[in-house]
Amino acid sequence: MKNKILITGGAGFIGSHIVDLFIKKGHKVVVIDNLSRGTKKNLNSKAKFYQIDLLSPRLNKVFEKEKPEIIIHEAAQVNVRASIKDPKKDARINIYGAINLFSQAAKYKVKKIIYASSGGAIYGEPKYLPVDEKHPIEPLSPYGVSKYTVELYLRYFAKMHSIPYTILRYANVYGPRQDLLGEAGVVAIFINKFLHNETPLIFGDGKQTRDFVYVGDVARANYLAYKLGVNEEINIGTGKKTSVLDIFNLLNKEFKKDIKPEFKEAVAGEVRQIILDNKKAKKVLGFTPQIDFESGLKKTIDWAKSTQK
């Protein structure tokens, strides 16, 4: 049975890929995006689009008119450094926006909510690797705090209003449509520097590691969560580590260049290393990543080059 899916942040990097997949599968999709980070060129023409902020009182009108059955909540302030600089703004967007959304979901009796949380930010500096879903929650940044706070609010609304949910804790997502000029997303930022023969900045020694998961795999995880993983928190990652220097060296290889990086002081609030255990994703959702990092990097480079034409 096909459902009407409301996707917040559906004009953004990750959200637009999720929109495309659900439309491909035959669902009706409604997109809410204030375009603060997303862009209209990412929008699927078959989606119904509302340019609106989640904090807007007009959100009720969208629910009243569209009556979505499933919500996929992707919209967020996602920059760790920005959250440290202005934690109030981070909380207003991420926490208050989510509360407004969940309130409408309860009012209009939505059948399920899928929420994009952050496995890279909520666990803090790992006590063991890979990090599973039972790892202590000790975020090092206001961004991590806000993402986990929304998880708690979602559980509250689910319990009080009988709304099933699935929380997907993403690793570091990369791929086509990631903002090349953004302040977050090291893969996209580095690719842009290489495209323009500029010197990339590496904060710290570059040996910090992340779990990089391709955006197409993340979209597929959301589609699997549409029917599976009820009332579960699930890591979405690869279980493999890649350092910032690894990315830099691969880009030199792919671009056939020998660019040298500039090293800057490490950023407070960013973890040193993180790898997500994805066994639960495989067990509950039947999810395993299909795109390895080098293949995904090549796909991202090809897309970035196409945007320069």
Which residues are catalytic, by number?
A: 143
Rg (CA), the chain: 19
Per-residue b or e along 251-262, where b marks 16 or more CB atoms closer than 10 Å to that residue's CB: beebeeeeeebe
Per-residue b or e along 98-135, where b marks 16 or more CB atoms closer than 10 Å to that residue's CB: bbbbbbbbbebebebbbbbbbbbbbbbebeebbbebeb
Q: Rounded to the nearest 10 degrees, what angle do helices 186-195 and 293-307 cross at?
A: 50
- Separation of alpha carbons 204 and 227, rounded Å: 42
- Separation of alpha carbons 116 and 7, rounded Å: 11
Cβ atoms of 89 and 77 within 8 Å: the answer is: yes
